Amino acid sequence: MVFQFRGGARIAHQKHLTVGKPIEQLRMPQKLYLHTRQHLGAPARPVVEVGDQVKKGQVVAEAPVFVSAPVHAPTSGAIVAVTECPHPTLGKAMAIVLEPDGEDTWCDGLPEERDWTAMDADEIRARVKAAGLVGLGGASFPTHVKLTPPAGAKIDTVLINGAECEPYLTSDDAAMRARPEDVIVGLEIILKAVGASDCAIGIESNKPEALEALTAAARRLPSCRVVALPSRYPQGAERSLIKAILNRWVPGGKLPMAVGVVVQNVNTTIGIADAVIRGLPVVDRIVTVSGLAVKEPKNVRAPVGTPWADLLEFCGGTTREFARLVMGGPMMGIAQNSLDIPMVKATSGLLALTRGDIARPATGPCIRCGNCVEACPMGLAPLDFTIYSRERDWETAKQARTLECVECGSCEYSCPANRPLVASVRVLKALIGAAAAKADAVAKAS
């Protein structure tokens, strides 16, 4: 049975440009830009210097604290700079610049083969952490943290997220079609790490080949069911997925562990299998390069740190001037202002959109139709957020549960007046955060 999550919107998939296409290996760029901030938590700390020779898989930046993740060299070569570089979400941030030597030589001991069934939960988590694995669906939360339930927490179910509900993106679909067996092995490893017994894989029904491949692979795991989900955005959001498959609702301000669930993206799950069994760190990933301005849209396996320019060139360049470059999907992705910006671990897609793709009617006054309230999967009242934002009223906004907004954009998509609802939420969250920081500073000073 599939349960209905609240809200959401029906959005044109736009996946026809890359669906069913094979995964192509990108030619190695002339330089890779390895940011030390590729995950939530503390930035990694560089452990290499200019002039150092490194090999593929070698740690170039270590995790200084528990909520962090190391960064590895995607290929062999020379470190030519450790400096601030353009970052896809932060403007500029510290990065390690690697010039490949063309040899692509692995560091000693990699890859390796180990029997994961002989490992305990602590060893599994240690290997995941050593691999620098983070949420590859876009959240970029360090995976070893997610596999470490707090004392007293009881996890009974693991959900694998193969919904991939954002338009255009097919990187998860491509991975499921190419490596269904590794999805199942990764799922088994997660079950052991968190001590759960039940599991399910959720895939939107617009991915029939992935559904068939995972259903066949899951036959050897009796506790696993593969669920065909309706194509409704944001089906891939954790709360929506948990509601749809398990009919459990994660309360505002809580994590899925609060209802006994751990959710992992399908590419992250494959990464867990690679890390635990083969010792492979995150050095590359599948990226969907798409949009009507791209000459040959593709699913590309590219090394972490690849500039956008190299991805577009590999896809034949652009057929026309694009109006917007977006990392991720069109609903929750981040607009980019330069082709020199490099991809990070959580980059699932790069879209070159035309003026027609992003054309929107002029913003009008709110007509109090309630469409945004109906569309909000979190049960919020987005129509008020523009008012709070305009008046800088962060206190009322906080009481209105603005921090629970997941910024999925369903409200804005459903708004006939084209109100900037998501932008208003981001302003309010920044104001709330600034007020909290100020209060903390005052408390420490006193």
How far apart (Å, rounded) are the C-alpha atoms in residues 67 and 364? 43
In a domain, 173, yes or no: yes
Q: Are 380 and 271 in a shared domain? A: no
Domain boundary among 278, 300, 331: 278
Domain of 163, in residue numbers = 128-278
Q: Is residue 109 part of a domain?
A: no
- Domain contains 436: yes
Domain boundary among 237, 258, 278: 278
Structurally, the chain folds into a number of domains equal to 2
- From the list 61, 50, 100, the residue with the least C-alpha distance to 77 is 100
Tell me: do 273 and 140 sit in the same domain.
Answer: yes
Tokens at residue 55, please? 């090999």
- Does residue 14 belong to any structural domain of this protein? no
| 273 and 380 within one domain | no
- Does any domain span residue 36? no
Phi, psi angle pair for 199, to nearest 5°: -160, 160
As averages over each run of 10 residues, the pLDDT of the chain (446 residues) reads: 90 94 97 97 97 98 97 98 97 97 96 96 98 93 95 94 97 98 98 97 97 98 96 94 96 91 98 98 98 96 98 93 93 95 97 87 92 95 94 95 94 94 95 91 83
145 with 267, same domain?
yes
- Residue 440 has a pLDDT of 84
> What pLDDT was estimated at residue 319?
85
**Left, alpha or beta for 369 (phi > 0: left; psi -120 to 50: alpha)?**
alpha
- What percent helix, strand, coil does the chain show, rounded to 5? 30, 20, 45
Quick one: 141 and 242 in the same domain? yes
User: What whole-number distance in Å separates Cα of residue 167 and Cα of residue 173?
Assistant: 12
CA distance 58 to 163: 33
Q: Residue 263: inside a domain, yes or no?
A: yes
Strand partners, 201: 160, 226
Indicate if 386 and 254 belong to the same structural domain: no
Query: Tokens 């569309």 — which residue?
Result: 375
Question: Which residues fall within 8 angstroms of residue 391, CB to CB, at 6 or more apart?
Answer: none
H/E run at residue 436? helix 421-445
State the Cα–Cα distance between residues 163 and 231, nearest whole angstrom. 8
Does 341 map to a domain?
no
* Bridge partners of residue 224, in order along the sequence: 199
| Same domain assignment for residues 381 and 253 | no
* Positive or negative torsion for Cα 133, 209, 247, 240: positive
* CA-derived radius of gyration, the chain: 22
Query: Is residue 28 helix, strand or coil?
Result: coil
Shared domain check, 266 and 163: yes
Write the CB contacts of 91 (distance below 8 Å, at least 6 apart in sequence): none
Asked if residue 271 and residue 165 are part of one domain, the reply reads: yes
Q: Check residue 312 and give its pLDDT.
A: 97
CATH of the domain at 169: 3.40.50.11540
Segment holding 308, helix H or strand E: helix 308-314
Q: Copy the structure tokens of residue 296.
A: 């040959």
The domain boundary, picked from 257, 278, 299, lies at: 278
Q: Report the C-alpha gap between 174 and 183 in whole angstroms.
A: 12
* CA–CA gap between residue 430 and residue 435 (Å, rounded): 9
The three-class DSSP label of residue 357 is: helix
48 contacts 78 by C-beta, under 8 angstroms: no
| Distance of alpha carbon 127 from the chain centroid | 21
Cα torsion 144, 146, 151, 154: sign? negative
Structure tokens at 260: 């006994």
- Give the span between the Cα atoms of 410 and 426, in whole angstroms: 15
As a whole number of angstroms, the longest Cα–Cα distance in the chain is 64
User: What is d(CA 269, CA 133) in angstroms, rounded to the nearest whole number?
Assistant: 10
